[in-house]
């Protein structure tokens, strides 16, 4: 007889492989997954109720020492429990006062999280000023690179013609269109859209519509669908819309970015933009979320988002991570752009482990290999 500790990523599959009886798989898997929730500014009476209810079912609520004496009106706390605990607690708190009904509804969102297949999105820049020279391609060179990315394992190709690096030059819609038109025409002519999905990295409605008419089926909007016309185009062409968070503009975003709470602020932003999309008629299933690594964020902001990316799964949409060769790597360990592949892979694998399902990258072949190995280990 031997015993050893193991790490289980997919509890249901492990139990099935163990030949556990069907109903037992569902029951036991909920007891195997430990969940933690950081709750901010909860009223003191609510904390005392939640603490008692959590303890009564075997869960736990970690609270500051002053709570028992009600020294302040509100406190932060940490809820700890299995998936089964959270399921029971979320139903129990629906009838409780002091804001606990809202807490219950939020917890229930996390219990309905969807799993999406992991996809690699290759990056093509049809301009000559993107921060990574290795991503710049024009016309026939761009098509050759697209075909190589498809062979290397990409399932999505993201094409843009305007740099969004810090302090990038402003480009007119005509210039953006002129840069990307021939690439779109060739994709349509060669029917490359039948092999993979194509994403247009733009927030210019006229450019987006031309791409969608050329076989593209994803809109990657760094402004987070601030222009309702972009949402309407997604609906008209039955395309998916990637909503990215950015503080400011590419020209201003890195000028001392500040947040009251990076997780709360971006979560509220996604909530508002998703509501806007749904009010116009775009289904939540057709929305992709991107926290916007490097877009109006300090190193600490970026690290916090990646470490806690699992939080954004509550919205029920695929999460995109795009940190390929970005300067946050240089801030951790000084490294020139062309030597940041290893750092990129480390960030992206951690993000996937934390809930991301679409990886936007320059190095498709290397990411395909890394993800295959990661999946085998998982």
Per the CB < 8 A criterion, the answer to whether 218 and 191 are in contact is no
Q: In what order do the strands lie in the sheet with 60-62?
A: 34-43, 74-82, 60-62
Angle at 180 between CA 178 and CA 182, to 5 degrees: 85
Any residues with CB less than 8 A from the CB of 169 and at least 6 apart, and which? Answer: 129, 163
Q: Which residues pair with 134 in a beta bridge?
A: none
User: CA-to-CA distance for 101 and 94, rounded, in angstroms?
Assistant: 4
Per the CB < 8 A criterion, the answer to whether 239 and 251 are in contact is no
Chain centroid offset of residue 270 CA: 11
Residue of 240, 313, 314, 360 marked catalytic = 360
Residue 356, Cβ density class (10 Å: 0-12 exposed, 13-18 middle, ≥19 buried): buried
User: Is position 360 annotated as part of the catalytic site?
Assistant: yes
SS3 240: strand
User: CA-to-CA distance for 232 and 158, rounded, in angstroms?
Assistant: 20
Residue of 30, 84, 240, 326 marked catalytic = 326
Residue numbers annotated as active site: 326, 360
């Amino acid at each position: 007889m031997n015993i050893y500790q193991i790490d289980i990523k997919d509890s249901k599959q492990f139990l099935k492989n163990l030949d556990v009886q069907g109903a037992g798989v569902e029951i036991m898997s909920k007891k195997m997954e430990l969940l933690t929730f950081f709750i901010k500014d909860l009223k003191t009476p609510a904390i005392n109720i939640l603490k008692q209810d959590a303890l009564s079912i075997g869960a736990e609520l970690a609270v500051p020492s002053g709570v028992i004496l009600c020294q302040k009106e509100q406190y932060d706390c940490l809820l700890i429990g299995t998936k089964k605990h959270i399921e029971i607690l979320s139903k129990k708190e629906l009838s409780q006062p002091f804001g606990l009904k809202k807490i219950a509804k939020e917890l229930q969102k996390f219990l309905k999280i969807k799993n999406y297949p992991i996809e690699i999105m290759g990056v093509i820049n049809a301009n000559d000023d993107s921060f990574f020279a290795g991503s710049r391609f024009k016309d026939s060179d761009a098509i050759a690179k697209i075909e190589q990315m498809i062979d290397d394992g990409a399932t999505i190709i993201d094409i843009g013609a305007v740099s969004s690096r810090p302090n990038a030059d402003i480009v007119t819609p005509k210039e953006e269109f002129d840069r990307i038109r021939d690439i779109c025409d060739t994709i349509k002519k060669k029917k490359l859209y039948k092999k993979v999905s194509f994403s247009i990295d733009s927030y210019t409605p006229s450019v987006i519509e031309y791409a969608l008419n050329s076989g593209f089926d994803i809109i990657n909007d760094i402004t987070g669908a601030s222009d309702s016309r972009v949402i309407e185009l997604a609906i008209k062409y039955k395309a998916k819309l990637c909503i990215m968070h950015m503080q400011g503009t590419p020209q201003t975003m890195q000028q001392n970015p500040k947040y009251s709470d990076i997780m709360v602020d971006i979560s509220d932003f996604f909530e508002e933009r998703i509501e806007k999309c749904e009010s116009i008629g775009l289904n939540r299933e057709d929305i992709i979320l991107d926290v916007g690594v490097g877009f109006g964020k300090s190193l600490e902001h970026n690290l916090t988002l990646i470490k806690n990316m699992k939080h954004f799964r509550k919205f029920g949409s695929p999460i995109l991570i795009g940190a390929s060769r970005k300067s946050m790597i240089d801030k951790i360990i000084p490294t020139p752009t062309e030597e940041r592949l290893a750092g990129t892979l480390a960030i992206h694998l951690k993000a996937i482990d934390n809930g991301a399902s679409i990886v936007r990258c320059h190095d498709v072949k290397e990411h395909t290999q890394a993800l295959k190995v990661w999946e085998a280990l998982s």
